[in-house]
Each structure stands twice: as structure tokens, then as C-alpha cells.
Copies of this chain bind each other. A is one copy, B any other.
């Protein structure tokens, strides 16, 4: 392996000087600088990153904790962050918690071991009290997920408004019996969406029938299962608010199978604006989350925190946008 000493010897200089050239420090004569460059090129020298990290106490790596990258939302988030991190000279270490507390804790140890300079949490499996202990080992920020009590920078979407506009849209299409169908009941993201949902119901003086609440909906299969359940209810809902496009797609698939027309007999709204929304027939109305903006800001905030800039309490919130397609609006009915 070629080390800085080899380069120094080849150039007939000390390694201090070579190091200065590598890091573009001043006070190196042009002649010697050229000699060093020549030696580096001849030997094909590249600095050893472990040695650099040890001495600099910086690894130029940021970890991002996501449940799974195959989840389209988190996959896109991770992808956008990687691109952004590269622009700032950082590697992104994508860590999947697989919805497991233990795996999450294992990944949090990366901060203790100083394997990463900072950590971006996009979801939280453990209690906040457990997670916050790791704050003493390095900067952490929240992105997408959030915690009321957390005193760390947070970059999030306005989920309350997202839940609100989606529900309001359903109500304005004439629906009064609206089902609520979502995944993580413990996540604050989900709770805020629910708050927006309730807000809209209140505004129109509607009440929520608890029989219409489903809190275990994550996948397409869950959507199909829930449709079947709804279908055989004595007084079924006429519209469904879902927490993800996949679940919405599942419900529509189920409806199709049972000959229930969407949106006429059952309106369905998704969340995320994934590709699938444009592929299903009918195309799925949804709430778009502008993921790249979130990712960009999260990385920027993280990079600032690593260099001790910025404020612990900063909170950035991005708006969500309702996208009306076919699964909530009958073509013959007037579009709002």
C-alpha cells in the first residue's frame, strides 16, 4: 500500500510537506508542490481514509435511518439525500431498521463508535427517551418524523394540513361516512394526519364512526383485506382516507374484484403520490410530499450541525399538496 511516507521519500521531502500539499495549505513553494503532485501521480497515491478519520475526528459519513429502502417513500428520501450529501463531500450510510427496535439501537451505536459524523432519523422505533441518550455522542436531526419534546433540528412536512385537505376534499365530494385507514398509530406523522382528518370532520360537523378506523394498513395486501372487511359491513363507509398509495391501490384492487365501482360507490384517496397512482385504473387521488426538498434541507441542516453551525431548535416545515385524480372524483360529476 502506498502511504504518505512513500510519497515523501519519492519527492525527497518530509511527509509534513506532502500533507500540506494534499490539504492545500499555504506556505508551500510552487516547486515542491509540483514535486509532490508528481510523486503522488507516479505512485498512484490516495490518502487512507481510516487514518484521516482518526486524526481529524471526522469520517465524512452521515447515517440515515429508514425503516426500509423498499418502501417507496423512504427509498426516495434516501436517494435524494445521497445525492445531496455527495454535493457536500459526505458519504451517506443508509441504515434500515426493518421496523425493529433492536436493529435501530444497533445502528445508533454507529454514532458512539464515531463511525459517522451525524445521524438523520426519518422514523423512530424506540421511545424518544431511549434515543435521546445518543445525542451526547454526535449530532442527530429528525427528518419527516418528529417529536414534540425533542430539542434537535427537525425537517418535516405539514402532515396536519395534509390530512386536512385530503379529508376536506372527500367531504366536499359529498361524503359523510369516511373510513380512516393507516399504518403506524404510534408515529407522530400518523397522529398529525389524524389530527388534520379530525379537523376537517369538525369543520363540517361530522362525527367519526370508530368502526371505520383501521390502524394496521401498510401494504397492498392490507388494503385488499380491509376492503373485504368494509364490503361486508352493514352500513359501510362511502369514502376511505388512506395513509399510503399502496393501501389505496389495495382497496381499489379489492373493489374491482368485487365489482364495486370507484369512485362512484367508494371514493379512495392515497398519500405520497407514488408512480402507482398514475397506473391504477382509476388513477388515484393523493397528497404529494415533495421529498427532494425535505431531503435537501435535512442534509444541509446536518452538515451545519456537524460544523457546529445552526440552532438546535430549528424546525423547517414543508407544505403538502392535494392531487386530484380519478379515485375520488366521478368523471360525470363536476370537479371542485
Binding site for B on A (CB under 8 A): 1, 44, 46-51, 53-54, 59, 68-70, 72, 75-76, 78-79, 82-83, 86, 91, 93-94, 96, 98, 106, 109, 112-115, 220, 249, 253, 256, 275-276, 278-281
* Complex: A61 Cα to B39 Cα, angstroms: 29
In the complex, are the beta carbons of B69 and A75 less than 8 A apart?
yes
In the complex, are the beta carbons of A69 and B59 less than 8 A apart?
no
In the complex, are the beta carbons of A48 and B279 less than 8 A apart?
no
In the complex, are the beta carbons of B112 and A46 less than 8 A apart?
yes
Give the copy number.
Answer: 2
State which of B47, B75, B113, B278 has its C-beta within 8 Å of the C-beta of A75: B75
Q: Can you name 10 A-B residue pairings with CB atoms under 8 Å? A: A46-B109, A48-B54, A48-B113, A50-B50, A50-B53, A51-B54, A83-B96, A93-B93, A279-B279, A279-B280
* Complex: A91 Cα to B54 Cα, angstroms: 19
State which of B72, B86, B113, B276 has its C-beta within 8 Å of the C-beta of A46: B113
In the complex, are the beta carbons of B50 and A54 less than 8 A apart?
yes
In the complex, are the beta carbons of B59 and A70 less than 8 A apart?
no
A278's closest neighbor in chain B, by CB? B220
* Complex: A93 Cα to B53 Cα, angstroms: 17
In the complex, are the beta carbons of B82 and A75 less than 8 A apart?
no
* Complex: A75 Cα to B77 Cα, angstroms: 13
* Complex: A285 Cα to B281 Cα, angstroms: 19
State which of B50, B51, B276 has its C-beta within 8 Å of the C-beta of A279: B276
Q: Which residues of B contact A50 (CB under 8 A)?
A: 50, 53-54, 59, 114-115
In the complex, given contacts A46-B109, A69-B94, A70-B79, what are 4 additional A-B residue pairs having Cβ atoms less than 8 angstroms apart?
A48-B114, A49-B115, A54-B54, A83-B98
CB of A84 to closest CB in B, whole Å: 12
Q: Which residues of B contact A79 (CB under 8 A)?
A: 68-70, 96
In the complex, are the beta carbons of B249 and A113 less than 8 A apart?
no
A256's closest neighbor in chain B, by CB? B281
Q: Which residues of B contact A249 (CB under 8 A)?
A: 279
Q: Which residues of B contact A278 (CB under 8 A)?
A: 220
* Complex: A210 Cα to B50 Cα, angstroms: 54
* Complex: A275 Cα to B224 Cα, angstroms: 14
* Complex: A115 Cα to B1 Cα, angstroms: 13
Q: Which residues of B contact A281 (CB under 8 A)?
A: 256, 281
* Complex: A44 Cα to B109 Cα, angstroms: 11
In the complex, are the beta carbons of B279 and A220 less than 8 A apart?
yes
* Complex: A50 Cα to B83 Cα, angstroms: 24
A1's closest neighbor in chain B, by CB? B114
A109's closest neighbor in chain B, by CB? B46
CB of A11 to closest CB in B, whole Å: 20
A56's closest neighbor in chain B, by CB? B50
Q: Which of A47, A68, A114 has the most CB of B within 10 A?
A: A114
CB of A232 to closest CB in B, whole Å: 23
Contact A275 B220, CB 8 Å, known A47-B113, A50-B50, A109-B46: yes
